[in-house]
Structure 1
């Protein structure tokens, strides 16, 4: 026998209250995560740029004058500060999650936030690569367009695993030598990735675990929410049938 619609409506309201409370916890967890990320990403971007300049291409880096080195470092610091500001602004905007009571909307909102974080990392990776290229540190035969696109390349397609926050790019020289064998150049460029950043920073990893825990709870609420909503639709349909049915 179907349950009364009033009981089902009360259960839906209770679930929405639980989602609201979970949204508040998720908002705090997101803010904490973004603050940790804003602090940790500075070190990892600068260290990755340091690695490219001193370990991968030291011969090009050593050709820079003192003032050129200063300018390179100044530009890298500038984009790091801009990235930190972007991440913190995402934290401030996360208060909108408190208005959500439908678990589907909250999950969608969380995915949008994480997409914005990834986009910010992608943009700053491209900017860092262009700064390094303009300084003359990447091999001279590598097109700027490829360096700029390095931050967007799917790392899973790489033939050779790269270091954290770096990606290997294989570049073919357009000029084919007389023997007909193409010259392939391997280039290592910056590609900041959340997985690498979290793995190399225990505070960021801990903050991420808290978010995952809350999202797991949210997924359970979503299943229950969908089940009760489905039950409400059935009861409403049964009631609508009975309202229009008359025995002859």
Structure 2
């Protein structure tokens, strides 16, 4: 016997309650993961920088004065410490862009609707409900930085600010699809922040001529976006978080052979960072296990929503049907 509408509604309500609880668990796992990742990034950034300066370009590093070496090391350490703050800033900017885009879409849809005045307000509310997931829905109480551009030099101040952000964020989303989209966005921002940190680290190394200063910024940017490192037979290809390139330079005179220059860059890769940190890797496994659970809940949620729509349609048919 088919389930009643009330029973299906109750099943959906129970499922939404469970999803909300799982969402809070997912947020807690990511809070812990980001703390661990920030610590690992600091270590791996310094280790990769050390290897570039001592194993790849030792002569260039030795040409630096003591003052310039210390300044380089200080800048690299600060860059690693800023990873967590940079992540939250990128996440906030992403939400602001989504809000503007969703607002533009809603405005355009409203312009094209032939509404009478008394229908306008009702239709606008309906569109807001049906509009693809907005950033405000994805993170209802997302982290808000009072000063997004502020750089934290004091560890206690940074920990205090991050703690406040965690308290403010509370994922309360009844639809498991929202959780999946939220998780995907967090992963994109993590990748973006790692790329940004890598780019800034290479800039620091270029400024002191450790990495060849003549290497165009565009080449560095494209290289950092590549999925796989190209070793090109470089003997340093086994060093973690270091990308090896081979730059070919054409000579103006055709008689002269093409010049080939091997270049090594710092590139923080999430897979390599996790591999080097068992605790961080274990946290990733916990997130993956929970995501499998969320995916199953998503399938059940879609099934129940379908059942509810069918039950309502059947009831509507019966209510409007009459015998001749």
Q: TM-score, normalised by structure 1?
A: 0.91
Q: In structure 2, which of residues 258, 265, 270 is the aligned counterpart of residue 189 of structure 1? A: 265
Alignment of 1:1-248 (within 5 A): 1-87=1-87, 92=165, 96-155=169-228, 163-176=239-252, 178-248=254-324
Equivalent pair of 1:97/1:109 in contact (CA under 8 Å): no
Q: Which runs of 5+ in 1 are unaligned?
A: none
Normalized per residue, which structure has more helix?
1
Aligned-partner Cα distance in 2 for 1:217–1:133: 46
SS of the equivalent of 1:169 reads: strand
**How far 1:174 moved relative to its partner?**
4.2
**How far 1:24 moved relative to its partner?**
1.6
2:99 corresponds to which residue? Answer: none
SS of the equivalent of 1:133 reads: helix
Aligned-partner Cα distance in 1 for 2:251–2:214: 10
Equivalent pair of 2:232/2:245 in contact (CA under 8 Å): no
**How far 1:168 moved relative to its partner?**
2.0
* Cα distance change, pair 63–170 in 1 and its aligned pair in 2 (3 A): same
* Cα distance change, pair 138–175 in 1 and its aligned pair in 2 (3 A): farther
**How far 1:176 moved relative to its partner?**
4.4
**How far 1:77 moved relative to its partner?**
1.5
Q: TM-score, normalised by structure 2?
A: 0.70
Q: Cα RMSD (Å) of the superposition?
A: 2.3
Cα deviation per residue 1:60-104 (whole Å; 9 max; x = unaligned)? 111111111112112111211211333477773586452211100
Q: How many residues align?
A: 248
Aligned-partner Cα distance in 1 for 2:186–2:272: 19
Aligned-partner Cα distance in 2 for 1:93–1:175: 56
Aligned-partner Cα distance in 1 for 2:36–2:88: 10
Aligned-partner Cα distance in 2 for 1:83–1:67: 25
